Structure 1
Amino acid sequence: MLQLFENAFRLPDKIAVIDSQGSYTYGDLLRKSAAVASYLLNGKTDLHQAPVAFMVSPGFDYVSVQWGIWRAGGIAVPLCITYPFPSLLYVVEDTGAQTIVYGPEYAEILAPFETTERIRMVEISEVPQSADVDLPEIGLDRGAMILYTSGTTSLPKGVLTTHANIQSQISTLVQAWEWTERDHTLCLLPLHHVHGIINVVSCTLWSGATVQFLHPFDAVRVFDVFLEGKVNVFMAVPTIYFKLISHVETLDDTGKKSISDCLAKFRLMVSGSAALPVSVMEKWQVISGHYLLERYGMTEIGMAISNPLHGQRRAGYIGMPLPGVDVRICDENDQETQDQPGEIQVKGPSVFKEYWGKPEVTSKSFTADGWFKTGDIAVVEDGYFRILGRDSVDIIKSGGYKISALEIEEILRTHPEVKDCAVVGVPDEEWGELVAAAVIADAGLDVKALNVWMREKMPAYKTPRQYRILSELPRNAMGKVTKNELKTLFQR
């Protein structure tokens, strides 16, 4: 039996999940996931790694379906609940999933699949609450899950992880961040990405702790839950912290103090999935007393690098390699570099098996000696890794220089009139690429004055040559800015 389920059997009466419908024990979760597994098997003894797609809202049913697919021997394929139909169709067709499990609220958008003979549609209410059935023995080398990359630089790729990969990803974080069954966390994150599925939900349930779901996001409700005094671990993306800060700033002094006193009792707060602006880090520290723990990971590798739970956390740095994860910095010839920027490469049991149905892409993503090439550029300073950006979108090659878009963004965000920003490289015949900045600010922002200000903060060759003032930045479901969309805007 998989370790995740063995741990659940130890604590049958402990509260595992809280959602809008109520509280559920580990025993409830084991019974419902067994019923889901039985229903999916439909008389078979094993799904034999067949992909099963599911579109279920965050909560008890989501976890029951995911566990049920695993316990039946299938590969879980979570569908993003905010995607339009063409994006859902892409995932279903790419994986070849022949079963889709869904919540009734998604019946309308999934309706076109009802006419597809090869696809079995299972509405979650059809599944009984429990079932007595022999379930297959699941080996760690089996495929467990297919998650899709963000698609910020190309079409999304299906990332196949095995149960061994997932077990390594979870146990590494449980050890590094000292999870225990006394922990209680609030999940606000999308559950079609590794941040929500592994870091929050799976680490919680592996540890015998409690995960509470709040969907959809609402800043007022988040603080209501915090003020109940049960939550002590919280993980979010920078955009969520930004929204929470904005809400706190609307409160009177009494309200602010109440929230600050509550947050000071948390044992851990983490930020990830996108670069955390230092300005957000500093504002949150004033509110909560916590210096957010930044870490680095990808769909393909889980988490690989983290600031320490105990010890110095550095703003703008992602920290040091996690236990059991080998990390190196390499040049363009995959040779390890010392004290120079280079690509982060990772090796270890947490690294994914393959890109689904893409053997050539998989092969090109690994070095000859088995290191995964992340495409992220970083430098190591005093043992701490600092991300300079993604080679394809965040490293701007202009006039012979390699310029970090993230460095420019960090400076821009310190301007008093700039609420947020994103920097990209725009193709140019003379320079190769020009530095261009999209800025969230009031329409009255004086761009010329902003540019003068920037030139006082950094070398002229790094300062933007073009600016656009926007009301919001284009983002994907995880809050990452989709920079290719921004490039198109500047090119128009």
Structure 2
Amino acid sequence: MLTLIDRAAAFGPRTAVVSAGRDYTYQQLLDRSARIAAALLAGATDLKEERIAFLVPPGFDYVAIQWGIWRAGGIAVPLCTKHPTLSLRYVIEDTAARTVLYTKWFADKLAPLFTELPADFIRAEDYGSAPTALPDVAPDRRAMILYTSGTTGRPKGVVTTHANTEAQITALVKAWQWSADDRILNILPLHHVHGIINVLSCALWSGACCVFLPRFSEGAVLEVFRRGEVNVFMAVPTIYYKLIHHYHSLLEVEQREISAALRKFRLMVSGSAALPVSVLEEWRDISGHTLLERYGMTEMGMAISNPYLGERRPGHIGQPLNGVTVRLADDGEIQVKGPNVFLEYWGRPEATAATFTDDGWFRSGDIAVYEDGAYRILGRNSVDIIKSGGYKISALEIEEVLRTHPQIKECGVVGLPDPEWGEIIGASLITDGHPLNLDELQAWLCERLPGYKLPRRYIFQDELPRNVMGKVTKQELKTAFA
């Protein structure tokens, strides 16, 4: 049984989704997803884990298609709306998707693949047929394949079962005290666990409402806040940075109205990348809220979270969620066990085996320390931990200090190959436009990071390369230094 969908019947007349200016109830979501499931089955009794890819904008149709795939016994493969055709082709081919559902907005992008791939490409707007008997889908069956952005090699398809997703949802619903009275604005990409699980699925599990915008803009988001339409919000640090910048461009009366509305919120969360303390503090000044930071990955959903009630310490990610066990390996790597951890990498048994220890712990690749009852991330082993002269240096710690400099708006720190030191530290800086004296900057850093190895090379640029989740793309930064 699919508990997420079964629970929806109890919320029938309540609003589940707001999109394209319309309210959609849980009953409408059940009815539409049942018709989609029937069309996918096309007379069969069960899709038996066939992969169904879909490229649709965030909103009611997205949710109905996702649920329809699950109810028919298929594996949902959500495609990224911003990816180029070549990247979409890779995912469709890698999963051997039988069907690709898409809306008119993406017809031109997918058109080159219509005759090149064996999949059936079907317009989703009016897709569906008369409801029919649907299969009983066991919790241990594969539910979804999400592709990692990865730091090396081609993206891998992360396979989660229905039991995995239920464990991820229920841990967050309990930890963050979701209720049917919640309304959340979802501006996150829906091919990643952050948007799918943390926002959309937690809301729908709880009988709450998920609100979508036709398109993202800082002004539109702040206007939703000002009107008091939502009381929960989750985003990546880059989004909070953009909202802060736009807020300061508004008239004082508008700022007061937005801040007053934000103070009525129940919960605000930041994740998917390290949250600069400067952003946390400025958002707290604006909203009255200390952002709740948490830690997770595509392979395990969320594993660690700061408390809903209690102290949230800047730079720390808190304690393991209910049902999740965490340990730090000898080099400080976070390793995880629990029902939230994924099943496998699609079609990559060797990669799957390599990411688990002999005794079954998932290797996250992230390095952390445990301080006074809470975990603190030092960085990603492959890109954020710089090995110089026999020392392991956290790029994130240097970035955090650099962001406090009055002339530095944003930065990225990476390790650069060096024959003598192994790696030296390079810093890419976005400044306020005024000349920055590097000798003075280095002296300023020395005062704040005594005894720390500091950047030896700097470059200046107008913007830092980022992936779709707002993380600085450090492999591209290394190329910029070359």
With the length of structure 1 as denominator, give the TM-score of the two structures: 0.96
Partner of 2:12: 12
Equivalent position SS for 2:285 = helix
Which position in structure 1 is the counterpart of 2:395?
A: 405
Whole-angstrom CA distance in 2 between matches of 1:447 and 1:54: 49
Indicate the residue corresponding to 2:457 in structure 1.
466
Letter matched to residue 334 of structure 2: I
2:352 pairs, out of 354, 357, 362, with 362
Q: Give the aligned partner of residue 456 of structure 1.
A: 447
Equivalent position SS for 2:105: helix
Please name the residue that 1:86 is paired with. Answer: 86
Question: Partner of 2:150 in structure 1?
Answer: 151
From the superposition, tell whether residues 232 and 348 of structure 1 become closer, same or farther in structure 2 (CA, over 3 Å). Answer: same
Matched residue SS, 2:17: strand
SS in 2 for 1:32: helix
Note if contact 1:54-1:102 (Cα within 8 Å) is conserved in structure 2.
Answer: yes
Q: 1:180-259 alignment to 2 at 5 Å?
A: 180-259=179-258
Task: From 471, 476, 481, give the equivalent of 1:480.
Answer: 471
Q: Distance in 1 between matches of 2:113 and 2:156?
A: 22
Following superposition, the deviation at residue 117 of structure 1 comes to 5.7
Q: Which moved more, 1:115-124 or 1:281-290?
A: 115-124
Q: Report the alpha carbon displacement of residue 247 of structure 1 after superposing the two structures with TM.
A: 0.9
The 2-side partners of 1:460 and 1:428 are apart by 20
Q: Which residue of 1 aligns with 2:116?
A: 116
For residues 196-217 of structure 1, the C-alpha deviation after alignment (integer angstroms, 9 at most, x for no partner) is: 0000000000000000011421
Residue in structure 2 matching 1:383, options 373, 380, 386:
373
Tell whether the 8 Å contact from 2:446 to 2:452 is kept in structure 1 after alignment.
no
The Cα shift of 1:291 comes to 0.2
Supply the AA of the counterpart residue of 2:177.
E
Does 261-270 or 119-128 show the bigger shift? 119-128
Aligned to 1:54: 54
User: Per the alignment, in what secondary structure is the counterpart of residue 140 of structure 2?
Assistant: coil
Percent identity reads 60
- Give 1:103 deviation, angstroms: 1.1
Which position in structure 2 is the counterpart of 1:420?
A: 410
CA distance in 2, matches of 1:400, 1:222: 46
CA contact (8 A) 2:427 2:455 kept: yes
Cα shift readout 1:190-246 (whole Å, capped 9, x = no counterpart): 000000000000000000000001142111111111122131110000011001000
Partner of 1:347: 337
In 2, are the aligned partners of 1:193 and 1:299 still within 8 Å (CA)? Answer: yes
Partners of 2:31 and 2:389 lie apart in 1 by: 62
Q: Which region of structure 1 is more displaced relative to structure 2, 94-103 or 149-158?
A: 149-158
Give the superposition deviation at 1:253.
2.2
The one-letter amino acid of 2:324's match is V
In structure 1, C-alpha distance between the alignment counterparts of 2:256 and 2:161, rounded to whole Å: 46
| Match runs of 1:60-75 below 5 Å | 60-75=60-75
Q: Is the alpha carbon distance of 1:117 and 1:389 closer, same or farther for their aligned partners in structure 2, counting shifts above 3 Å?
A: closer
Corresponding residue for residue 168 of structure 1: 167
- Cα RMSD (Å) of the superposition? 1.1
Deviation at 1:320, TM superposition (A): 0.6
SS at the partner of 2:322?
A: coil
Alignment of 1:293-372 (within 5 A): 293-332=292-331, 342-372=332-362
Could you give the per-residue CA deviations for residues 388-425 of structure 1, whole angstroms, max 9, x where no partner exists? Answer: 00111000000111000000000000000100111000
Distance 1:117 1:344, change over 3 A: closer
Q: SS in structure 2 opposite 1:125?
A: coil
Q: Note the C-alpha offset of 1:452.
A: 2.1
CA contact (8 A) 1:77 1:145 kept: yes
Distance, in Å, in 1 between the alignment partners of 2:119 and 2:113 is 7
Whole-Å separation in 2 of the counterparts to 1:394 and 1:215: 35
* CA deviation after TM superposition for structure 1 residue 447, in Å: 2.5
CA contact (8 A) 2:412 2:472 kept: yes
Q: What residue is the counterpart of 2:77 in the other structure?
A: 77
| CA-CA distance at 1:65 after TM superposition | 0.6
Determine the C-alpha separation between the residues in 2 that align with 1:460 and 1:327.
Answer: 31
Q: For the residues of structure 1 that align with 2:21 and 2:37, how far apart are their CA atoms?
A: 22
Native 8 Å contact 1:52 1:98 kept in 2: yes
Between the aligned partners of 1:131 and 1:16, the Cα distance in structure 2 is 23
Q: Structure 2: any 5+ residue segments left out of the alignment?
A: none
Confirm or deny: 8 A CA contact 1:85 1:110 kept in the other structure: yes
Please tell me whether the aligned partners of residues 77 and 146 of structure 2 are also in contact (alpha carbons under 8 angstroms): yes
Task: Give distance in 1, aligned partners of 2:117 and 2:424.
Answer: 51
8 Å CA contact 1:443, 1:469 repeated in 2 = no
What secondary structure is seen at the aligned counterpart in 2 of 1:456? helix
Supply the distance in 2 between the matched residues of 1:131 and 1:235 (Cα, whole angstroms): 37
Q: How far apart, CA to CA, are the structure 1 residues paired with 2:287 and 2:452? A: 38
8 Å CA contact 2:143–2:161 kept in 1: the answer is yes
Shift of 1:78: 0.5
1:290 aligned partner: 289
**Secondary structure of 1:115's partner?**
coil
The 2-side partners of 1:169 and 1:485 are apart by 32
Q: Distance in 1 between matches of 2:373 and 2:154?
A: 35
Asked if the contact 2:56/2:102 (under 8 Å) is kept, the reply is yes
> Could you tell which deviates more after superposition, 144-153 or 22-31?
144-153
Q: Say whether the 8 Å CA contact 1:201–1:211 is kept in structure 2.
A: yes
Aligned length: 481
TM-score, normalised with respect to structure 2: 0.98
Quick one: distance in 2 between partners of 1:361 and 1:298? 16
Kindly indicate whether residue 424 of structure 2 is the aligned counterpart of residue 434 of structure 1. Answer: yes
